[in-house]
Amino acid sequence: MLGLPGRRLPSAEFLLLLPFLLLLLLPAAPAPHRAAYKPVIVVHGLFDSSYSFRHLLEYINETHPGTAVTVLDLFDGRESLRPLWEQVQGFREAVAPIMAKALQGVHLICYSQGGLVCRALLSVMDEHNVDSFISLSSPQMGQYGDTNYLKWLFPTSMRSNLYRICYSPWGQEFSICNYWHDPHHDDLYLNASSFLALINGERDHPNATAWRKNFLRLGRLVLIGGPDDGVITPWQSSFFGFYDANETVLEMEKQLVYLRDSFGLKTLLARGAIVRCPMAGISHTAWHSNRTLYETCIEPWLS
């Protein structure tokens, strides 16, 4: 067969490759859809600000790219000494719009004093949609120890007599006193505590049943702390352990709030929704910047 004058016919090899070349010109198939990570809300602790969590923000962005992370910038510095119920109201107004937009739920990472603020939020918010509440070195059963914070705030008091201040109406105007838990003056604590005794369900109040129901909307409770914290006293308070009257630490399962299931702790454990992640060698101010801690105790729960 003769070709056209001045033109060459395509070679056989080219004709064999032509279907594959045409495939290259077709539009690429869309990438498989990956479910977005749930938004993360971070609540700081005493004398902190959002800047303290820059490393944590970096870790989340690196391991879970695209995650919407909000480090709430409320009650910073000395403002964190404001009464905790006042702080709960402020944080509630800040988190509600975030939750409303997150149809699949949110995660809370709450550090130190902020862990108590978040637990109160879980109690008072009827329609919260928190999947994981990560309590990062927080005195969940209260604080009973001399720290630099206390020495600065109450320079003439020691832990043995601080109850005289904290269990007064004046003392309850300071956030630290809202969770001061003196095991030698339990009756005074139960009568005077305007915050911790209420969210623990240790004192009767008209909202107790509703608060327990709200708390149990929680998907998972992750408790993080360790023996080298140096601030939370006893450090087991991060895991709902605390002193008895002899200052012997009783673990969570031996606490009355657990045995009575006063706010839902026993129910959460029974459904397998409590994760305990103790870690040694981390001081109190390093929890939110320790990469190993993040990878071990936080990142697995940020779905």
More confident residue, 255 or 161: 255
Asked if residue 12 is part of any domain, the answer here is: no
Would you say residue 264 lies in a domain? yes
Residue 136 domain boundaries: 38-147+205-299
Is 288 an annotated catalytic residue? no
Q: Say whether pLDDT at 240 is over 80.
A: yes
- Inform me whether the pLDDT recorded for 12 exceeds 60: no
Give catalytic status of residue 33 as yes or no: no
Q: Taking the mean position of all CA atoms in its chain, how far away is CA 303?
A: 14
Q: Residue 214: is its pLDDT beyond 60?
A: yes
Residue in 112, 135, 138, 237 annotated catalytic: 112
Q: Within a domain: residue 187? A: no
| Structural domains of the chain, count | 1
Read off the CATH number of the domain in which 122 is found.
3.40.50.1820
- Residue 36: the pLDDT is 87
Given this model, what pLDDT does residue 20 score? 56
- What pLDDT was estimated at residue 92? 98
| pLDDT at position 16 | 60
What would the pLDDT profile of 92-118 be if each residue is shown by its tens digit?
999 999 999 999 999 999 999 999 999
Which of 92-101, 143-152, 211-220, 257-266 comes out lowest in average pLDDT?
Answer: 143-152
Residue 33 belongs to a domain: no
Task: Note the pLDDT tens digit of each residue in 267-282.
Answer: 999 999 999 999 999 9
Any domain includes 98: yes
Residue pLDDT, tens place only, 61-71: 999 999 999 99
Instruction: Choose the catalytic residue: 107, 128, 185, 284.
Output: 284
pLDDT digits (tens, 9 = 90+) for 126-146: 999 999 999 999 999 999 987
In a domain, 7, yes or no: no
Q: What is the pLDDT of residue 2?
A: 44
User: What pLDDT sits at residue 9?
Assistant: 52
Active-site annotation holds for 49 = no
Beta-carbon neighbour count of residue 86 at 10 Å?
13
Section 201-217 average pLDDT: 97
- pTM of structure: 0.86
pLDDT given at position 181: 97
Catalytic entry in 181, 229, 237, 288: 229
The answer to whether position 22 is within a domain reads no
Reply yes or no on whether the pLDDT at 218 is more than 50: yes
> Within a domain: residue 256?
yes
